[in-house]
Amino acid sequence: MYAIVNIAGQQTKVEANKFVYAHKLAGNVGDTVQLGNALLTDDNGTLTIGAPELNIAVTGTIVAHVKGDKVLVFKKKRRKGYQKMNGHRQSFTKVMINSIG
């Protein structure tokens, strides 16, 4: 069984007993979080679509707060001597999905 859930503004596919990386969530390591109601569920080929959501809650446990890979942003204008380089690392939360429904 899997579900599509809206986590911090992004729709994410989640399955029970699997990890999900979401944009940084409030809470400490070990806290239980409610990820909201499911938008869509699939139970062995039986698809249920919400309008706009279903009354199926998804819960998880925060495992860690991590940072993603560094993304480099390089700007340049030719023949002008202008170059600028910035870096960015996005913060993520690793969540273990406990139950769907």
Residues sharing a CB contact under 8 Å with residue 6, sequence separation 6 or more, in sequence order: 12, 36, 39, 53
Spatial contact of 100 and 41, defined as CB atoms under 8 Å apart:
yes
Rounded to two decimals, the pTM is: 0.80
- pLDDT tens-digit profile of 9-52? 899 999 999 999 999 999 999 999 999 889 999 988 898 898 88
